[in-house]
């Protein structure tokens, strides 16, 4: 992917520095991090779902934290022993710890989370306050006859 240079826009805009920084960071992968894989779905007009593949992790080994528009999901496996005398010949199921962060938009809240069939589902809802919602403003019609005020000529 090519790198886009936003420096000419920095000179002609005020207050959009964060926007350009976010656009610039989208083009670069998150440190090459690809584990665990995830999907982001829109489930309604103002609701979303993040589904993350966390096979092999129990509910108490995964933590979810939302703080200041950042959703952080951490997973850390406890040491597991397979029993006396058994050894793992091939380990294909990842057991490494992970931490994944998502930048949330303003007024997006975490509604709930569920771990089912190796997938962690996190439900999000956008709650825009009434004062920030667009509102329709009625247009009043002008009166049909307008009074005209004439200046009297001085004699």
For residue 155, pLDDT over 60 is answered with no
Can you tell me the distance from the alpha carbon of 85 to that of 89, in angstroms, rounded to the nearest whole number? 13
What's the average model confidence in pLDDT over 33-62? Answer: 88
Delimit the CATH 2.60.40.790 region(s) of the chain.
33-81+89-128
User: What pLDDT score does 36 carry?
Assistant: 87
Omega into 71 within 30° of 0, i.e. cis? no
What's the average model confidence in pLDDT over 62-80? Answer: 87
Q: Which fold has domain 33-81+89-128?
A: Immunoglobulin-like (2.60.40)
This prediction has a pTM of 0.62
With 0-12 / 13-18 / 19 or more C-beta atoms within 10 angstroms meaning exposed / middle / buried, residue 126 is middle
Min mean pLDDT across 21-35, 90-104, 119-133 is at: 21-35
pLDDT band of residue 112 (cuts 50, 70, 90) is very high
What's the average model confidence in pLDDT over 24-45? Answer: 74
């Amino acid at each position: 992917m090519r790198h886009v240079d936003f420096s000419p826009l920095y000179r002609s805009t005020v207050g959009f520095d964060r926007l350009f920084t976010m656009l610039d960071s989208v083009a670069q992968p998150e440190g090459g991090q690809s584990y665990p894989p995830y999907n982001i779905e829109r489930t309604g007009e103002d609701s979303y779902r993040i589904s993350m593949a966390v096979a092999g992790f129990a509910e108490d080994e995964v933590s979810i934290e939302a703080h200041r528009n950042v959703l952080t999901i951490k997973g850390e496996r406890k040491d597991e022993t397979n029993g006396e005398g058994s050894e793992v010949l091939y380990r294909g199921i990842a057991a490494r710890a992970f931490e994944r962060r998502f930048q949330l938009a303003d007024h997006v809240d975490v509604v709930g989370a569920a771990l089912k069939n190796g997938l962690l589902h996190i439900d999000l809802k956008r709650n825009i306050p009434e004062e920030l919602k667009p509102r329709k403003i009625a247009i009043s019609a002008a009166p049909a006859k307008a009074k005209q005020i004439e200046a009297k000529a001085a004699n």
